């Protein structure tokens, strides 16, 4: 059931739309009868492929400027300049900072920070040139506001995403483009499940120990689901958020409150 008629036929670009939070975001906009472009490393096609009347898919490596340029060119050629950009694509690596590999740090920054920079740079530029007011939602993390053991690269990358959010919000406010970030807490995705295994090995615990620890830290008594995040993305993409920009909205079950 559609909640926001204004989003009908609006073009929504979702990076990292193949699984997890990105998949939930894409499905949520499809329910609003939006035209959704899912861009993800998992897709093979370098040209936009039409899956249905509402859904398109295209290969994208957010850390590769050539790949981002190709996506942008495809959007222009197909008259699909977004009204809404949702940048979900992200990765994590885990180890204590003093024991971590520089290559892991570089990879995390390349995807989470450089990738966010590249996508917003190219896509928002086209929104501005087309005089297309709209919404930009960047997926940060509560790790953009706090520190977490064995996650220095991820924490640093998500702090940077919040910095990009605040700066871009100021720069494009006169173009009537709102820029906000969502800061999820512990969300049950394949990445989180892998992090529990990696974290358990690093800390000499079991994945079940980590899961119990996760649940114990959330005042609402449960970890999040991808749809919890998608719901807030939808709000930030609607008219209800028209007087909000430059914000980092926590979706953490109360785990982070600042």
What is the rounded distance in angstroms from the CA atom of residue 72 to the CA atom of residue 74?
5
What Cα–Cα distance (Å) separates residue 140 from each residue in 15, 50, 74? 13, 29, 26
What is the rounded distance in angstroms from the CA atom of residue 241 to the CA atom of residue 182?
13
What Cα–Cα distance (Å) separates residue 144 from each residue in 58, 116, 120? 28, 14, 18
To the query of whether residue 154 is one of the catalytic residues in this protein, the response is yes
CB contact at 8 A, 179 and 244: no
Give the tokens for residue 37.
């472009």
What is the rounded distance in angstroms from the CA atom of residue 134 to the CA atom of residue 257?
28
Give the tokens for residue 59.
């290969």
**Strands across the sheet containing 248-251:** 49-50, 55-59, 35-40, 11-15, 84-87, 134-139, 177-184, 248-251
Q: Which is the catalytic residue, given 96, 148, 154, 243?
A: 154
Q: For 210, what's the count of Cα atoms within 13 Å in the CB-facing half-sphere? A: 19
Q: Which residues are catalytic?
A: 154
């Amino acid at each position: 059931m559609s909640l926001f008629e204004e989003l009908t036929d609006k073009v929504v670009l979702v990076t990292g739309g193949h699984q997890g939070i990105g998949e939930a975001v894409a499905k949520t906009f499809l329910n609003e009868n939006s035209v959704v472009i899912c861009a993800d490393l998992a897709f093979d096609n370098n040209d936009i492929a039409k899956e249905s009347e509402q859904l398109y898919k295209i290969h994208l490596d957010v850390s590769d400027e050539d790949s981002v340029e190709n996506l942008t060119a495809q959007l222009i050629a197909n008259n699909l300049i977004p009204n809404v950009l949702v940048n979900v694509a992200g990765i994590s690596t885990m180890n204590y900072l003093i024991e971590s590999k520089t290559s892991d740090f570089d990879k995390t920054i390349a995807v989470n920070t450089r990738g966010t920079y590249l996508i917003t740079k190219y896509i928002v530029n086209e929104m501005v040139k087309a005089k297309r007011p709209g919404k930009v939602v960047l997926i940060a993390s509560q790790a953009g506001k706090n520190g977490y053991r064995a996650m220095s690269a991820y924490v640093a990358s998500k702090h940077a995403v919040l910095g990009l959010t605040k700066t871009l919000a100021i720069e494009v406010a006169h173009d009537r483009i709102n820029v906000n970030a969502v800061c999820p807490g512990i969300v049950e995705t394949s990445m989180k499940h892998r992090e529990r295994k990696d974290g358990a090995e690093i800390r000499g615990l079991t994945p079940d120990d980590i899961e119990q620890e996760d649940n114990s830290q959330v005042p609402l008594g449960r970890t999040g689901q991808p749809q919890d995040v998608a719901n807030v993305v939808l709000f930030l993409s609607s008219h209800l958020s028209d007087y909000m920009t430059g914000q980092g909205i926590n979706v953490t079950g109360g785990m982070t409150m600042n």
